[in-house]
Each structure stands twice: as structure tokens, then as C-alpha cells.
Structure 1
Amino acid sequence: MEFPFDALRRWPDVEAPDLVAVDAADRLLLDLSQEARREAAPDEVVVIGDAYGALTLASAADGEPVRVHQDSLLGERALAANAEALGMSGVFRSMPLTAELVRDARVVLLRLPRSLDALDDIAGLIAKYAHPSVRVFAGGRIKHMALAMNDVLRRFFGRLDVSAARQKSRVLIAAEPRGGRDPEPKRAQVGDLAVCAFGGVFAGAGLDIGTRFLLDTLSRPIRDGALVVDLACGNGIVGVTLARHHPRVRVHASDVSAAAAASARATAAANGVDDRVEVIQDVGLSSVPDGVADVIALNPPFHTGAAVHERLAHGLFADAARVLAPDGELWTVWNSHLRHRSALERLVGPTRQVARNSKFTVTVSRSG
């Protein structure tokens, strides 16, 4: 029986008519890996980078349990919701990107990340711990693929085959692993700050120009004992900077990405403030109580996967509004063409422009 792809949803991620839960690259990966998956023994199939569960659940429908890693917590929750709706809960294990995810795996289905550093981390891990006969089926939409991806895979695998294109998608098939390694964060010095980042984190081990603009303008005094929140923290540079400049405040940092949360923890530890900077992987601020934050800093993402959608930022604005204490402030930097001010006024409270340059706007919104 054909797997019911049309039943899959993106929820709790953004849903819209132009956003899909499964695409042609997922279907091509499943078709090309079908024979290999059938030949694999129980628990020898691994899925990495599944968006909303299509690869995991269709693979598990063959009757074998599947190990899966998704960087996004939204993806994990969508997979769990889709599994429950299809009566397939318990047919997979969600795991972090560590040795146990890929140990002795013979088949790996990988949705190619857009970051070469992320692919380097994943390929190195597979090459080190998977079975010597492993085959890696790495696929994506052609418009998001680059020849440099072939070079990354060839560093860790002795054989690389390239599938024919189908519906603007393609699959790279890697075998004969060699020279693997565990993922390690890159580290760079940004002024007097050590910044760490695992592959795929926005801005890597650096300071993007929007965040720099936000830090240059976020100059309000912060009372001792205040709770400061670094929302969508990325590599953690904002929260760690605020912790260093205000040694008597507590900082809560969160990001939906597992790689980002791990990077922020590493950045906090590298700068000696990990005792005051709590970092968790979270969807927005779902684990933070109402009305407790004095200051929230946010450089909101506007991509969900490869798509651009304003509702992603709006959800973060609403979360910030709930978590802010009375008279608390949300400091936000955004690409000026996105025109977030009206949404901030509606969702958070009175909003004023603090600074603006040729590309970015910084605003501060005050809770009621």
C-alpha cells in the first residue's frame, strides 16, 4: 500500500497554502533507497534532516524501526504529531547528532542541509561510526544544491554516485566511508568575545551585521537580578555579551535549532559565563513562565526551511509579549523591508524606532 503522503502536516510549524510537508526530493530519496532499506536489518536505517516526517514514517512503514535526527524542534514535534495521526507512534527514535545515532547504520537517508559546514559535521559522523558497508542517500532540491556538496562527501567516502534529476530534485549516493570525525564547533574571536558554532548555525562563529547593529544600540541600564532573554539565540553572542556587560543579571537563551543551542552553550562556556547563561532548545519561549523577563533581545529569523514567511517572526513577537514583565522591553532588529513595526505594536505594545541604517531597523517595544 502506498504511503499516505498527503496526510502529512507541517504543524506546529507555519502552515500556509504555499508551504508543503513533503516534496519531490523526499519522494526521490525514498524511491532510490527502497531496495537498500529492505535489505537492511532491524534498526540499521537512519534518517537525518527529515523536515516533517515523510522520510522517517515512510521508511518505518516498511516494518523496521528508524533512528532519526532533526535539527529543528518544530520538525521533531511535527514528526511526532504526524506519527500519532497515522497510528505510527513508537516506530522511530528521535536522537541527537551523536555517535549512537549512526552507529553501525547500513542505510542513511539525508536531506542535504544548505550549509556545507553542517554537511561536513554530518558526513564525518557517519563515516566514523556507521557500518563499513553503509550507503548514504543525500538528496535535495537542485536549486539548493551545490557542487561543493560533492566535495564534502568525497572527503569522507571513497565512492560517490549522482542520480538523474527528477522533478527538480537529485540524490547523491555515498559509500565506502573513510576518515570520519565527531562534530566540533568552530571557534573565532570577535573583539574580546570567543564565539563558537557547530555547522549550520546562522552567521557561524561570527557576528552578523544585523546582530552587531542591535548590540551597538541596546544600551539601556538593566537592574541587578533581572532576567534577560536572548530569543532565537543562534550562536549565543547576544546573551553572552549582555551577561558580560551586566554581571548581576541572569540570561535565558533559546533556539529551535539543536545546533544553535549547542553553539550558544559552547560560547557561554568559552567566555566563562555559563553559570549565568541558561541555554535550551525550545520553540520560542514555550518553557518560560508569563511576565518574568525584563529585557528580551531578538534578531528574528524569517525563513522556515527554504521559504520566507512573516508568521515565523510574528509567533516570536507573541511569545515575547507573554513573557515580558510589566514595563519590560523587547529589542528587535529586522531587515527594514519586512516592516515589522505594525506587528510589534499589535502583538507586544508601544514601539519606537531606536536606530536605522541602509539595511536594518532596531526597535524597542514596551509591554503594558
Structure 2
Amino acid sequence: MPETRFGELVLRRWPRRRGETLQAFDGADRYLLRLLEEEGAGPATLVINDQCGALWLGATDRGPTWSAGDDWVARRAALANGEDNQRPLNADHWLWPGDAPTATPDQVLMRLPKSLSLLEAQLAWLAEILPVDTPILVAGMDKHLPGQLVPLMERYLGYGQAGHGWKKARVFRARAPGKVLQPAPAPGEVAVPGRGWTLSAGPGVFARRHLDIGARFLLDHLPRDVSGEVADLGCGNGVLGLSLAADNANARVTFCDVSWLAVDSARRNAAALFGDGHRHEFHLGNGLDGLERRFDVILLNPPFHRGHAVDDGVARTLFRHAHRHLAPGGELRVVANGHLPYRRNLAKLFGQADRLAANDKFVIYRCVND
């Protein structure tokens, strides 16, 4: 199992994969912890968007630390790395969106998220919860820095300043205004053709402004006459599972995602369409891990990135989850870019992977659990 050393720590990504090629930390983590050591205002630290626990574990040496984020896998990676290094982290100090630390932090260490809408929501949250003048350090790798970062910090925090680069990372500084200067962005609105629906999508949720073109293609090829258990795996705002549920009254859909904000978006959309008494369920976690039931249908529009990195390992992991959790005779429907070599991966698991439909960009595979 590949390991990467971060000072005295040995860190790994989650889930643990043989032949892992991505590190569990980067120069932005190193830069933030170096500045914490040199400039820290006090012992208590709020960490935001930690990848695998490097910041949470590093700041905990100084005093009480809370880690805030949207990603279940990031939380699980941090807790596992704490256990591996005999430095267990307090799981109660993880903050999902909307939570607040139980004490006042002296400083904030923030990694830039990939999504600008999530960044805006987090900056607005910091303005709301922090005492005036709490120092905020924001860092990211040079190749991923958004051009409008300083103006965004000025809009939400009243001030933003670019600092020096170090090890291909750059830090930006601000101080909490002690009051809300700009409300967080409203949820995105996604129109669903042919349904008359407008679905909401929280900050950072995939395709939060427009229906993803892969999902749009799969919507035209959803199974009919479905009853029993269905999983919308990697559900985002829930458009696939919601559409299937609308056409199949005897189906119960479990909406699954690694993102808290995605699962929350799917839950809100289901309530808006079907009422609060609907029978559908919601699962925050790594794919289908933690679910005991088997599914008659699984729908999947898999990602081929982890953060900024192109990586089909997430898709291959979800294929294995689907194979493990399909009921006998159950089927998996996958939409993917036509150039990706998923048919080989699927056929190896299921014995076959039928091309149900294709266009100039996407292909839909149908796999049956015989």
C-alpha cells in the first residue's frame, strides 16, 4: 500500500488502493502549516477543505482543531490517518456544512476548493461565524488558482491579499469582518427538459447550473416497469433517481453521494417533488459502502476526476460496488464518455457489458447480474 511521509506523519488516501498514484497532501498543506507555526495567533484552529488529514493532524499538535468540509471520503481519510499514526482525531470535531465549531477558533487554515460556488459559500460562512479580525489563511497550488480570488475575498471578507509563493503553492490572507458583508450564493437551479422541473443544487454540487449532458443522455434511456430497490449512485442533485421514481411508482430510490451538499440537494428536491412523506432514502458515504441491501437497478454517471486530478479509479471502484450490491437479475446502467475504456472493466466484472445506446460523445452500458 503506497504511503507518503508528511513530516513525522505517514499519510494515505482513502479508500486504500493498491498502486495509488496520488499523494495525500501537497505544497499548499505544507505552506499553511509552516505559516501556522510562524504566525499562529493562538492554539485553536479551524481547518477547511483538508484532503486527507494533513492539516487537521498538523494543527492538532498546537491545540483544539476543527475540520470543516463537504467530502465524506476526506473525513474518513483523516480519521484513518489519525488511527494509523497513533494520533486519533476527535470525530465530533468534523463540521459538515452548516455546523459551527464548539469554541472560538484563533485562526483559519483553508485549502481552496475546486468549485468557486463552494468557495463563496465558505467565505460567507466564515464572515458569519468568526469574531472580527480572526486571521484567515487561504492556500492553493499555483496551477489551480482562480483569477478572481482576491476580489472574492474582498466581497465576502472585506479584504484579501495575495502572498508569496512557496513550493508551487501560494497563500492569500484576510481577516474576518465579524459580520456578513455578502450573503452566500443562492442554490443553483437546473431545468430538466420534458419534466417541467427546476431542481436545486447546493454550492459545489456537480452541474449546479445546467443539466450535465451525460445525465441528459441517460435520462432518455432509463429502465421502465421498475419495482423494488434502486440506487442513484453518485446522485448529485438527484436528477436520474428522481426521474426514474417519477415514472415507476413502485420503485424506492436510495440517493448516494460522497458530498454532503449533493445528498442534501437530492433530499430537498425529492421533498419538493414527492412531499416529505416520500419513501426514498439518502446515503452519504463512499459509494454503496455501509448499505446492506441489494438493488434491482443501479444508475451511474461516474466521475473521472478526483479533485483536480484526472483519475478513473473512482469509477472502477463504483463498478465494483454495483457488482457487489446488485440483486440476482438486477441491472446496472452506466453513462460515460465514449473514449473511456469502461466496457472492458465492466465486462470483467459482469461477464458482459452491452452497449444500450451511443451518440457522438457518450455511450450507455447495460450490465446484468446473472
Q: Do these two structures clear the TM 0.5 threshold for a shared fold by scoring above it?
A: yes
Relative to structure 2, which stretch is displaced further, 320-329 or 99-108? 99-108
* Residue 33 of structure 1: aligned partner: 36
Name the residue aligned to 1:279: 282
Which of 177, 199, 203 pairs up with 2:207? 203
Taking the aligned partners of 1:241 and 1:320, their CA distance within structure 2 comes to: 20
Q: Secondary structure at the match of 2:330?
A: strand
The change in CA–CA distance for 1:14 and 1:196 in structure 2 (over 3 A counts) is farther
**SS class of match (1:163):** strand
| SS state at 1:243 partner | helix
Task: For residue 183 of structure 1, report the CA deviation from its aligned partner.
Answer: 6.9
Q: Aligned with 1:222: secondary structure?
A: coil
Relative to structure 1, the CA distance from residue 318 to residue 278 in structure 2 (aligned partners, 3 Å threshold; closer, same or farther) is: same
Q: Which residue of structure 1 aligns with residue 167 of structure 2?
A: 167
Report the CA distance shift for 1:333/1:11 in structure 2 as closer, same or farther (over 3 A): same
The equivalent of 1:355 in structure 2 is 357
Determine the C-alpha separation between the residues in 2 that align with 1:207 and 1:5.
45
Are the equivalent residues in 1 in contact too, given 2:330–2:369 (CA < 8 A)? yes
Distance 1:256 1:89, change over 3 A: same
Q: Displacement of 1:200 after TM fit?
A: 0.9
Tell me, in whole angstroms, the C-alpha distance in 1 between the residues paired with 2:99 and 2:186.
13
Match of 1:119 in 2: 119
Look up the match of 2:73.
74
**Preserved contact between residue 60 and residue 91 of structure 1 (Cα < 8 Å):** no
The answer to whether the Cα contact below 8 Å between 2:263 and 2:282 also exists between their aligned partners in 1 is: yes
Call closer, same or farther: CA 1:102–1:303 in 2, change over 3 Å: farther
Do 1:128 and 1:180's aligned partners in 2 also have CA atoms closer than 8 Å? no
Percent identity, aligned pairs only, is 36
Cα 1:45–1:107 change in 2 (3 A) is: same
Does the 8 A contact of 1:183 with 1:198 survive in 2? no
> Given the superposition, is the C-alpha separation of residues 188 and 211 from structure 1 closer, same or farther in structure 2, using an over 3 Å criterion?
closer
- C-alpha contact 2:130 2:176 (8 A) present in aligned 1: no
Per-residue deviation, residues 270-329 of structure 1 (Å, max 9, x unmatched): 222551321121111012225x21111000111112212222111101110111111111
Match of 2:292 in 1: 289
Cα distance in 2 between the residues matched to 1:230 and 1:99: 26
Match of 1:307 among 297, 309, 326: 309
After superposition, residues 1-368 of structure 1 pair within 5 angstroms as 4=7, 7-12=10-15, 14=17, 16=19, 18-37=21-40, 39-41=41-43, 44-62=44-62, 64-90=63-89, 93-101=93-101, 104-177=104-177, 178=179, 179=181, 181=183, 185-191=187-193, 192-223=196-227, 226-272=228-274, 275-289=278-292, 292-368=294-370
Separation of aligned partners in 2, 1:266 and 1:81:
31
How far did residue 189 of structure 1 move?
3.3
What value does the CA root-mean-square deviation take over the aligned residues?
Answer: 2.1
Q: Is the 8 A contact 2:160 2:173 kept in 1?
A: yes
Give the whole-Å Cα distance in 2 for the aligned partners of 1:259 and 1:36: 33
Structure-2 change in CA distance of 1:118 and 1:303 (3 Å): same
Quick one: distance in 2 between partners of 1:273 and 1:111?
37
Contact 2:224 2:247 (C-alpha < 8 Å) held by counterparts:
no
Tell me: CA distance 1:279–1:9, structure 2 relative to 1, closer, same or farther (3 Å). Answer: same
Aligned-partner SS, 2:274? coil
Q: Where does structure 1 lack aligned partners over 5 or more consecutive residues?
A: none
In structure 1, how many angstroms separate the alpha carbons of the residues matched to 2:160 and 2:19?
37
Cα distance in 2, alignment partners of residues 15 and 266 from structure 1: 37
TM-score under structure 1 length normalisation: 0.92
CA distance 1:277–1:150, shift in 2 (3 Å) = farther
**Contact preservation (8 Å) 1:128, 1:181:** no
8 Å CA contact retained: 1:243, 1:273: no
Shift of 1:229: 0.8
> Quick one: structure 1 residues 355 and 289, their matched pair in 2 at CA, closer, same or farther if it must change by over 3 Å?
same
Instruction: Tell me, in whole angstroms, the C-alpha distance in 1 between the residues paired with 2:306 and 2:321.
Output: 17
Name the CA distance, whole Å, in 2 between partners of 1:103 and 1:129: 11
Give the whole-Å Cα distance in 2 for the aligned partners of 1:212 and 1:355: 13
Check whether the contact 2:79–2:89 (CA below 8 A) recurs between aligned residues. no
Shift of 1:14: 4.5
Using the alignment, how far apart are the partners of 2:123 and 2:290 within structure 1?
33
Deviations 1:116-143 (A, max 9, x none): 1000110000001111121211111111
- Secondary structure of 2:283's partner? strand
Moved more, 228-237 or 199-208: 199-208
Q: 2-side partners of 1:213 and 1:91: how far apart?
A: 43
Cα drift, residue 235 of structure 1: 1.1
Letter in 2 for 1:19: L
Cα separation, 1, equivalents of 2:122 and 2:17: 26
